[in-house]
Amino acid sequence: MDSARARILARIKRSTPKGDEAVRIAAVEQRLQHPQHNLVPERGQGDEAHRIGVFTRMMEAVGGTVEVLDDVNDVPVAVASYLRNTNRPICPGIVRRRSK
C-alpha cells in the first residue's frame, strides 16, 4: 500500500501545473494556516436580533414555533406550558425515568 501511496502522489505531482514548487507549498500553507472567510449569505450576517429574526422566520416556514426566553431556567416551564396549551402529553418515558 505504501507503494500505492507513492505512485498515486507521483502521478498527481506530474499532472499539476508546472511551476515553482515552493510557491505551491506556500499557497497551501497560507490557506491552511490562515483560512479565508468565504461568502456568507446576507441572511446569515447582521446582528443577533437579525439572526434571531431569520431563524424564527425559517423555523415557522417549516411548521415550527419559536418563543424567546430571558433566562435558561425558564425553559422547563415554557416547555410544559407549550405542551399543555397544544394539548400534548408530557412524554411518559421521561416521567418514568425521572421517577426512578
Partner 1 sequence: MEQQASEFPANVKRAIADSQLQWAMTETGPRFIEKRAKARANLPEFDALRDQARDIKDHVLSHLDLYLERYEAKVVQSGGQVHWAETTQEARAAIISICKRLDAKLATKGKSMISEEIGLNHALEQAGITPVETDLGEYLIQIRGEAPSHIIAPAVHLSRDQIEADFRKAHTHLDPNRDLTEIPTLVEEARQVLRQKYLDADVGITGANFLIAETGTSIIVTNEGNGDLTQTLPRAHIVIASIEKIVPTLEDATTILRVLARSATGQDFANYTTFSTGPRRPEDPDGPNEYHVVILDNGRSNVLGTEFQDMLRCIRCGACLNHCPVYQAVGGHAYGWVYPGPIGSVVTPALIGIEKARHLPNASTFCGRCEEVCPMRIPLPRLLRHWREQEFEKHLTPGAVRWGLSVWAFFAKRPKLYQFGTRIAARLLNLMGGRKGKLASLPLAQGWTQYRDMPVPQGRTFQAMWKERKRG
CB of 14 to partner 1, least distance (A): 8
The binding site for partner 1 (CB under 8 A) comprises 1-2, 4-5, 7-9, 11-17, 24-25, 27-28, 31-32, 35-39, 41-42, 58
Nearer to partner 1, 25 or 91 (CB): 25
Cβ closer to partner 1: 4 or 99? 4
Rounded to a whole number of angstroms, the minimum distance from the CB of residue 68 to partner 1 is 22
- Of residues 63, 62, 66, 40, the one with CA closest to residue 53: 66
Q: Which long-range contacts (CB under 8 A, 24 or more apart) does 76-83 make?
A: none
Q: In terms of CB distance, is 24 or 84 closer to partner 1?
A: 24
Instruction: State the cell numbers at 26.
Output: 506556500
Which is nearest to 81 in space by CA: 94, 69, 95? 69
Q: Cβ of residue 81: shortest distance to partner 1, in angstroms?
A: 28
Residue 68 sits at φ, ψ, to 5 deg, of: -95, 125
Taking the complex as a whole, the smallest distance from the CB of residue 88 to partner 1 amounts, in Å, to 19
Do 57 and 47 touch, CB atoms closer than 8 A?
A: no
